[in-house]
Structure 1
Amino acid sequence: MTEQAQQQAQKTQQAQQAHDEQAAASPEELREQVERTRSELGRTVEALAAKADVKARTRAKVTEVKERAAAKAGAMKRQAAAKSGTLRHQAASGAGTVQHKATDVAHRTRGRAAQGARLAQDNRKAVLVAAGATGAVAVVWLMLRRRRA
């Protein structure tokens, strides 16, 4: 016997004892006792019927579990959407940083190449003399090498 059924049985037993101890003094008191007894009996029958209706209890439990699962799924969906937004923002920020750095490196490289070209133009005579000297050294070296061979 379950605890609730035991409690209900005790209540019924107490009501019966109270009824036995107090005999109705008048027909009106007797009617009130009968009405109270009917009310208690109705509640007892309803409680027992609810306990015995396994199908309804199972449906109620299934509904409760579905509602909890739906609430959990909704919470997880909201959490995933929030995390997705954060990651999207971080990815966009990282892409912007990489693009900025690549642009910066390209500008610096172009600047250095232009600086080298300006230096060569400004010192045209020195570049030509250095190229001529390098060529002369190469020719002398080749001539010496052929003589030894």
Structure 2
Amino acid sequence: MTQPPHDEPTASSPDELREQVEHTREELGQTVEAMAAKTDVKARAQEKAAEVKQQATAKAGELRTKAADLTHRAQDSLPDPVKEWAAQAAGQIRERAAQAGHVWEEKAPEPVRNKTVQGAQLARDNRSLLLTAAGVAVVLWLAFRRKR
């Protein structure tokens, strides 16, 4: 029979021995679970993906706030004639987009229109994800542009 570890006392009764055995089994079970968790690549990848997604969402929020601030500062610094011209141009763009939409509805085949509607709805449903991806793309573009 092997000697017990030096830091653990030997059992003086069968009940004490059973207790020690149960305690050792629990420790062994926890160790096995910890090792299994470390080898579960899929779960670790999912955890990492969730962490990265959370970081990207936070960064996108920061970028959105900065962009809104810059937009407001730029708008505040524009002279009134430029603001009026921009408002007129935006109105014309909205009007032309509406006209293009009507032409699209009249001329496009039904299956194509249905797919377009589905794609637009998907984009609306995932707006925050799309904005986050766009924000990350802009940040990466700026980072790579600065390195050159």
TM-score, scaled to structure 1: 0.48
**TM-score normalized by structure 2?**
0.48
Find the structure with the greater CA-based Rg: 1
Which has the larger share of helix?
A: 1
